[in-house]
Structure 1
Amino acid sequence: QLVSRLLNDHFGHLGYDDYAVPIVAEEGEDARRWLRRFQDSDQKTPVVATTAELLSTGVDVPSCRNIVFMKTVSSPVLFKQIVGRGSRLDPATDKYWFRVIDYTGATRLFDEWDRPPLPPEDTALGPERGTLEGVVIHAETGDRLVGASVSVLLGPNVQRGPIYTDEDGAFRFERLPTGVVTLVVSGPGFRRRQMKVELLEDEVVSVEVPLKEAGEPPLKVRVTGLEVTIADETIFLIEATGESLSLQEYVDYTRRKVVELVGAQHAALLREVWMDPDRRQRFLEDLYRSSIHPDVLAEVMGLGDADGFDLLAHLAFGEPVRTRDERAQAFRNRHQRFLQRYSHEAREVIVALLEKYRVGGVEEIADPKVFRLPPFDRMGQIVGVQHRFGGVAGLRQAMREMQRRLYQ
C-alpha cells in the first residue's frame, strides 16, 4: 500500500488517482474493482498493481510486461507462479515478452532448465562480417511499404534494430554475425512476420518480405465474470453460467436484472438508489456479481460518455440517455443557490469535483482518493480540502448533497 501511494504521489501530475493500486485483501471491493481494470488491456489505468501474493495464481493479466520482486521469496513454487503472470501473450497490445525485475535475489529460484542452454542453438556466434538487406512489400499488391519496422534477433535478449524501411521500402543491416538469425518485420495495419535467415561471411544476403494486411481482429474485453468478443457480432460470455449472449440478449438480461434489483417498473426508484452513495455502491456490487458491467456495455454500445444511471435507466425503463457533460452543465445552471452557500475556497473544490465527474463519472468523485489528484494536491490534498469545509463532516455532507443534486 505504501509503494502504491508513493507511486501515485510521484506520478500525480498525469491526472490519474489509480496509476498504482494496492490489490490486497484489506482494500475489499476496491481491490476487486482495481483488479478488473488491471486485467482489461483497453483501460489506461491502473499501470502498476502492488500486491502480496494475490497475483501468484488464478489471475490472468495478459498485457502485464513487468514482474517486480520487492520482498523476499523462498518458495520455488510461489516464485514460478508469480513469474507465470507475465508469461501470457497478448497480441492486442503487441506483448510477446516480459521482464523480471528482481530487488531481492528471487531469481535464484530459477532452475537450470528454466534457462536456455549456453550457447543457444540459434544464436549467431560467427564473426561480424555478414550483411542482410531486403525490401518489404504488400503481399496482395506488391507495393513497397515505407516505414515498416525491421529487427534482427541474434539470440535470446540480443537484437539489432528496429530500423525502418526507406522511401523504396528497403532496409540494410551490416556487420552482423554469421550464422542463423531471425528477421522480424511489422508495419501499421499489417501482420507481424518472422523468418529465419542464414548469413554467410563476406556475403550480402537479400530477402523480400511480403506482409499481409491485419484486417480487423476480434476485440476481446475481459472483466471479472464476463468476457466480451467484438467482431461482426458482439458476444457476451457470462463465465458463471457459460451462457453466450448476443448484444440484444445481454441488454435484455441487464434490463431484467436491474428491474429485479430495483423492485420497480419505473426509473424513480433507481434514481433514489443512485443518489445515495452507499445504496448505489451496493447496487453496483450486485450488478457485478451478475456479470453486468455498465462501463463495458456503454463502450460496446457507443455510449461511453453516458452517465451510468442514464444508461441503466434507458435500458431498463426507456428513459432518454444523458451524457455526463449534460448533467454537469445542468448542475451549474440549476444549483447556483447550493454553490453560493459555500465560501469561494469551498466552491473551487465543488467545481473541480464537477470536472472530475464529467471525465470519469460519479464513482470517480465518490472515492476519497480523488483528493490526491490536481488541483486538490495544490489545496493540501484531503486535509486541506476538509479545512475549506470546516472539517470532515462538512466535506462529507457537501459531497453527498452534490451527488444527490446531480440526479435530481
Structure 2
Amino acid sequence: MTRAISEADTRANFIDPKLAASDWGSDKIEREYYFTDGRKLVGNRRGKRLFLDYLLKYNNTNLAIVEAKKFTDHPTKGLQQAINYALKLRIRFVYATNGDKIYEFDTEIGGGDYIENFPTPKTLYERIYSDNLQLKEKFHNIPFLLTGAMRPRYYQEIAVNKVLESIAEGKKRILLTLATGTGKTFISFQIVHKLLQAKWNVDSQDRRPRILFLADRNVLADQAINTFNPYENDLVKIDGEEVRRRNGVVPTNAYIFFAIYQAIAEREDIGGYYKEYPSDFFDLIIIDECHRGSANEEGSWRAILDHFAPAVHLGLTATPKKKDNVDTYKYFGKPVFEYSLKDGISDGFLTPYKVKRVRTNIDEYIHTSDNRVIQGEVKKDLYSLNDFDKNLIIIQRTDLIARAILNNINRMDKTIVFCADQDHALDLRDKINVHKEIRDPYYCVRVTSDEGKVGRTFLEAFQDNDKDIPVILTSSKMLTTGVDARNVRNIVLTTPIESTVEFKQIIGRGTRIFEGKDFFTIIDFVGATDKFYDEDWDGPPDDETDTDETGTKGEKESGKKRKKQKEKEDEEGEGKKEKLIIELNNGRVLKVTDVEIRYISDSGKPLTAREFLEKLVGELPSVYQDEEHLRKMWSNPDTRDALLVQLGELGFDREQLETLREMIASPECDLFDVLAHISFSSELKTRKDRATSVKEDNSFLSVYKDLRARDFLLYIINHYEKYGVEELGRNKLADLVNLKLGTPKDAKAAFGDMKSLLQAFYKLQKNIYRAS
C-alpha cells in the first residue's frame, strides 16, 4: 500500500527543490515564520499566533509568502489566508503551491496566474523596487543594529523600510502612526542607524547626515537618548546648560542632536537657539508626538520646522487622523504606515484592557443653603461632571473618589490617576494617603511639572519594575504621553477628557506588555471612556475642521491669542483661578452607586453586560455542536482546558466567564451549567447539586473497596463543591494526593496503582457532569 504524501513530504521533496532551483537558498528562506505573539489571555496564556509556511527574504527585506499544501490538494487551497497575511505584512507577492503547480498572486494589482517556476530573488526584488532602486538597495542592505537575541517585530521592520523607501523617493514630509507602546523610538533609532551607515544626506555629499530628534518634554527626549546609546559618542542634547558650557555657542560637533522645542524655541527673553543653526544644517528632523502642535501653522513648533525647511521632516504620532489633529495629517500627508491600538492588542504586542465605569450619588451638584461655601462664589444652578475639580471642589466628593480608587485596585498594583489640574492632583494624593493601608510615606505621590526634580525621581522609581514604591501617581497633563512604565495595571480617570487624541494617549500608558500582566483596568469616574464608541476611534473622521494646537475646534485665531490660550490651559497655568469650594452638611452621605464592568471586543469597543452575553451566545456554536458535545469536553480535564483556551481565543477569558456566571446565575453554579443554560436552555445547577448527586450514587463509590480510596474521592468532591472546577484540573491531582493521602506510595496502596488512581479521577468527573 502506497503511503499518502503529507504536506511535510511535499515541502521536502517538491517545493524546496523548486525554490532551490530559482536560487532561494536556506539563507533567503524563513520556514514557519511566526510574526505575532498571540493575544494576551488571562492566566499568562496566549491566543493563536500567526505564521507563514515560507517567508522569502532578500537584501534584508521580506519579498514574498509561499503557502504550501500537500501534493494531492488543490494548489490555491490556502491562498486567501496567505493574501490576508501578505496584506498585514505589506508583502506584495504570494505563491500558493502543492509542489506540482505554482500560482503567483500580486496584491498590488489584486490578481494572479499560474507560473512555471519561482522567480529568482534578484528578479523579484527589482520587480518590487523598480523606482530609485540604487538608494533603496543601499538602505536595505544595511541590517538592523540589534543586541543579543533581540528581533524586531514585523510592523517595526515595515515602518523602518517604508520611511527609508520614502526618503529614497525624495519625499520631504513623512508620517508614521503607531500606537503607544509599540516602539516608535526603537524604529527611529533603526532609521537613523541606516542613514548614518549609508551616509545619506539631502545634498548627496560624501558625509554622514545631521539629525535632530525633537520632543516636547525632557522625559521623552531623555528616554530617546537612552535608546540611541550605541551612538553615544555621536550625539548631544541642545539645551541652555550645554550652550552655557560651550560659552554661549550651540553644539555642532555631532551627528545626532536631541532637543525639546521649549529649550530651543524663541521666547521673550531668548532669541531661540534654533536660529543659531543655518537652515540647511540638519538633513532629517524627527518630531516625536508630532500631533501636539508641530504641524499647525501657528503652532509652537512650526517656526522651528519652517526654519529647517530643507530637511526631511519625519513625524511620529500614536494617534490616527481625528478632528482634533487634522493639521498634522495636512502637513505630513497620509502616513506611510499605520499600526493601531487594536492591531497591537490583537497581535499580542499590547495589553488588553477592561473598563470599570464608577458612578456616585454626587455626579452633579445643585447648591443649597445648608451646604457651606468655603471659597469662591456660586455662579450656576447646576454643576455637572465637567465642573468638578476644575471649577468646583466638594471636599467630601474628593474623599469619596479617593476611597473608591483604593477599593477598585489591588493594593500594590501600579496606578496612574489623571486629575483636572495640579491642585486636584494634590488633593487626591492627600485623601488617598488618609485611607491607604500601606504605611510607606511614598505609597501615593504627585508627579506634575511643579514637583520638578522630586517628581522626576518618583517617576523613575515608578517606572522601575524592580521597585514596588511608589504604587500610585496622581498627575494631570505630564504623564499623558511617552512615559514608559510597563507594569501599569490601572489608569484612573477623574476628570473629563475632551480631546480624543489626549484620551488615546492616556490609555496608552497602560498598554505596554509586562510578564504576568494579562490586562489593565481603566477606572472611569466621569464617562470619558464613552470615547471608545466614537465612530472614528480607529479611523479617519467624517469631515475635517480647523483646530488649534490644543485641539479646540473653531475659527482660526491670531498667534498671540492662541499662545495665550495654550499657556492658560497648560499645566503651568492650571488651578490659578479661584475655584468654588463646598463643604456638604453632615446629613449628606456620599457613596458609590454603581460599578459597571465592560470588556473590550475584538473591534476595540467596550461591551455592556448584555452585549457581552449576546456576543458570547453568537460565538458558542463554533465551539461545540450540542449539549452532549459540551458535556463530553467539559467532563475531561484535558479537553476542558482546551475548550477554555478556545473560548479565550474568541475573546472570553476565565475572568469574563466568571462575570458572565454572576450575571445570569450565581458563584455557586458551575461554568458548565452556565454555558449549557445559555446555549441549550438547560436547567441551572449549583456545584452542591452536582456533588450531592455523586455522593448519593452508590454505584460509583462502591466500586472502590479500599475506604482510603473512597475517602479521597469524597475529599475531591468536597473540594470541587467549595472551590470550583479548578480543583478538578489534572495539575491539581498531585496536590490533592499530598493533602489527603500523603505520598504517591500511599495513593498507590489505596488504588492499587497510579494508573487506577488517574482513571478514578477522570471517572469521577464524568459522574459529576453526567446528565440528570
TM range (shorter): 0.3 to 0.5
Q: Which has the higher strand share?
A: 1
Normalized against structure 2, the TM-score is what?
0.26
More contact order relative to length (CA 8 Å, sep ≥ 6): 2
Q: Which has the larger radius of gyration?
A: 2
Normalized against structure 1, the TM-score is what?
0.46
